[in-house]
Amino acid sequence: MTVNFEYLADPLIRRNHNAETGPSELPISVFQPPTLTLPVLVAETYLRYTAYTSQPEISKMPLQDYQRSLLDLAVNNSILKFSGPYTLKSGRQSPYFFNCGLFNTASLLSALGSAYARAIVDSGIQFDVLFGPAYKGIPLAAITAAKLADVGGGKYADIGYAFNRKEAKTHGEGGNLVGASMEGKRVLVIDDVITAGTAIREAVEIIKAAGGTFSGVCVVLDRQEKGASGDLSAIGEVRKEFGVKVSAIITLDDIVEFTQDALEPAQAKEMQEYRKAWKAEGFASAHDP
């Protein structure tokens, strides 16, 4: 994948892009802005405004700094790749792939935990315990709980975290749960992505059996894709079934917006076509209230 980081650095330049001909040549340099007369400045502002407003609506809210930083890390570390097609669990052929398991160094995991913490704080979901379903959810719950104490301040200082074992322990304290008690607590599930909702439903049963109340979910990526059973996305189905909020750090729309001028034209076209074909109707994105 070829990424043009000058476009990623300047949102105004990134917006001035024609899908057929590629990025426009702009007279204003990111690094050496010229001195402009008022008429020229007005004309340039108008050109940039029309370039911005002529683009299709992608996201209801602009990307936050932590979202941009995470996407930048994901692209630079081949966590987010566009060299597909990739076969998904659903059998679909996707032009992109996001591998959360590649946040596998101290600095990458720290950045991911901080992004989860920011997304959770921004979501406004009320909870007492983070629950990470085995196996991927275990390190996510631990690092996010630690980062919540930094990002969220005193309100989150005493948030607990817990996780389950795939097989119940028969010695020591026994059982299949580790960490903070969920009894009588509001529990937020943290995971990497919701594909079919199966893992979330299993987590809900574990929480109920432990005497807790399921209060929501936070994932790193909302693919915003139609589920196998209808037009709702997997996240939409979870929201409808359980009546809780599902938050995500980034969405498919965010990925398209962030990379639209950095990808090769053919790759950008594939992303647009994939979104058009599979985006769920009436989805509730991570940025919706």
Digit-coded pLDDT (tens) for 62-72: 899 999 999 99
**b/e 112-146 (16+ beta carbons within 10 angstroms → b):** bbbbbbbbbbbbebebbbbbbbbebbbbbbbbbbb
**Residue that wins the pLDDT comparison between 56 and 279:** 279
Indicate if the pLDDT at residue 32 is higher than 80: no
Indicate if the pLDDT at residue 275 is higher than 70: yes
Quote the pLDDT of residue 91: 81
Quote the pLDDT of residue 25: 41
- Is 169 among the catalytic positions? yes
Whole-number average pLDDT of the chain: 80
Q: H-helix or E-strand containing 59?
A: none
Residue 191 CB neighbour total at 10 angstroms: 21
Residue from 119, 146, 246, 130 nearest 185 by CA: 130
Cα–Cα dist 240/227, whole Å:
13
Quote the pLDDT of residue 228: 66
Quote the pLDDT of residue 29: 38
Indicate if the pLDDT at residue 181 is higher than 50: yes
Per-domain boundaries in the chain? 5-53, 65-278
What average pLDDT does range 15-44 have in this prediction?
44
Pairing of strands 22-23, 17-18: antiparallel
Cα–Cα dist 83/21, whole Å:
21
Quote the pLDDT of residue 16: 43
At residue 171, the 3 state secondary structure works out as coil
Pairing of strands 129-132, 186-193: parallel
Indicate if the pLDDT at residue 207 is higher than 90: yes
Quote the pLDDT of residue 169: 63
Q: What is the reported pTM? A: 0.75
Residue from 14, 104, 118, 6 nearest 65 by CA: 118
Among the listed residues 171, 185, 208, 240, the single catalytic one is 171
Quote the pLDDT of residue 126: 97
Q: Which of 31-40, 51-60, 180-189, 193-202 has the lowest mean pLDDT?
A: 51-60
**Residue that wins the pLDDT comparison between 270 and 289:** 270
Residue 153 CB neighbour total at 10 angstroms: 10
What average pLDDT does range 242-263 have in this prediction?
93
Indicate if the pLDDT at residue 199 is higher than 70: yes
Among the listed residues 155, 169, 208, 240, the single catalytic one is 169
Quote the pLDDT of residue 60: 53
Indicate if the pLDDT at residue 15 is higher than 80: no
Range among 79-93, 103-117, 166-180, 186-200 rated most confident: 103-117
What average pLDDT does range 190-196 have in this prediction?
86
**b/e 155-169 (16+ beta carbons within 10 angstroms → b):** ebeebbbbbbeeeee
What average pLDDT does range 45-53 have in this prediction?
39
Confidence grade of residue 163 (pLDDT, cut at 50, 70, 90): very high
Cα–Cα dist 139/18, whole Å:
42
Cα–Cα dist 126/287, whole Å:
17
Quote the pLDDT of residue 172: 55
Is the CATH code 3.40.50.2020 the one for domain 65-278? yes
Indicate if the pLDDT at residue 215 is higher than 70: yes
What average pLDDT does range 52-68 have in this prediction?
62
What average pLDDT does range 250-270 have in this prediction?
93
Indicate if the pLDDT at residue 108 is higher than 70: yes
